[in-house]
């Protein structure tokens, strides 16, 4: 644990790169929470460096700093012309925020952001955040998220959605719909190896590539009668569709 004086030397260094490196590497397991809180609340208004600002936003969530004043400040960035990395940091900040703590009108304002032009990766994160709310927006959000994924070739969007499913899970039915959609898309587009590994991990997508054995995709363990499993032989690139008992 660093003494406060040593923390300040890094946290307020003249170089934003040094500050960001410190935030990324330090564990913040110390007694200086009040200092971090005061710094973020009082000295983050005019920071322009997108990497450093996104690190501060991430840190504020990690330290559980959810004063309404700060929530509103961060949310306002979603309405401004800032780097998309900052917007994703803000959305992640709210993704982890307890629904009982988030500011009044958050869901409605989040939905309104969809009326503005957004990068696909930002739009999809907005929709995922809406899925986490027990509100009128959640049902429409899953439909819009799947439609949005079907219209983008940006592999980062798919990877981030799968990461969301791992970090902040949704109900099994919604997860199943998202997994099915991403899997179907993956058969037609190159979503990159990392995304496919996440798909196997998060959606219980299992195949033994090393031994060349058949595998299967199981989207929802609790509702086997509601899904199809696809089984294929890797050799020759042939795949066959099998139905579990109880499926059509």
Q: Which two tokens stand for residue 106?
A: 């958050």
* C-alpha span between 158 and 24 (Å, rounded): 25
What's the confidence (pLDDT) of residue 239?
A: 31
What's the confidence (pLDDT) of residue 205?
A: 59
Torsion angle defined by CA atoms of residues 202, 203, 204 and 207, in that order, rounded to the nearest 10 degrees: -100
Q: Mind listing the pLDDT tens digit of every residue in the chain (248 residues)?
A: 789 999 999 999 999 999 999 999 999 999 999 999 999 999 988 898 999 999 999 999 999 999 999 999 999 999 999 999 999 999 999 999 998 899 999 999 999 999 999 999 999 999 999 999 977 888 899 999 999 999 999 999 999 999 999 999 899 999 999 999 999 999 999 999 999 999 999 987 543 333 332 333 443 343 333 333 333 222 233 333 322 233 33
- Strand 228-233, strand 216-217: pairing: unpaired
Q: Which two tokens stand for residue 204?
A: 């219980």
* For the chain, domain boundaries: 1-103, 105-203, 208-248
């Amino acid at each position: 644990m660093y003494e406060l004086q040593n923390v300040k030397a890094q946290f307020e260094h003249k170089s934003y790169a040094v500050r960001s490196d410190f935030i990324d590497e330090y564990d913040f397991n110390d007694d200086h929470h009040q200092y971090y809180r005061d710094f973020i609340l009082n000295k983050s208004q005019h920071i322009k460096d997108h990497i450093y600002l996104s690190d501060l936003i991430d840190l504020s969530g990690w330290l559980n700093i959810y004063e309404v004043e700060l929530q509103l400040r961060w949310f306002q960035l979603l309405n401004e012309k800032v780097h998309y990395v900052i917007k994703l940091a803000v959305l992640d900040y709210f993704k982890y925020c307890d629904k009982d703590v988030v500011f009044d009108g958050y869901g409605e304002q989040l939905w309104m952001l969809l009326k503005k032009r957004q990068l696909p990766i930002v739009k999809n994160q907005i929709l995922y955040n809406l899925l986490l709310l027990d509100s009128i927006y959640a049902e429409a959000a899953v439909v819009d998220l799947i439609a949005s994924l079907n219209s983008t070739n940006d592999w980062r969007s798919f990877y981030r959605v799968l990461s969301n499913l791992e970090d902040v899970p949704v109900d099994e039915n919604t997860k199943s719909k998202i997994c099915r959609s991403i899997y179907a898309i993956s058969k037609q587009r190159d979503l990159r190896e990392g995304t496919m590994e996440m798909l196997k991990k998060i959606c219980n997508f299992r195949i033994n590539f090393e031994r060349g054995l058949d595998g299967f995709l199981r989207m929802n363990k609790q509702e086997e009668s509601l899904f199809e499993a696809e089984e294929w032989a890797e050799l020759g690139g042939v795949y066959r569709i099998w139905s579990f008992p109880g499926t059509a």
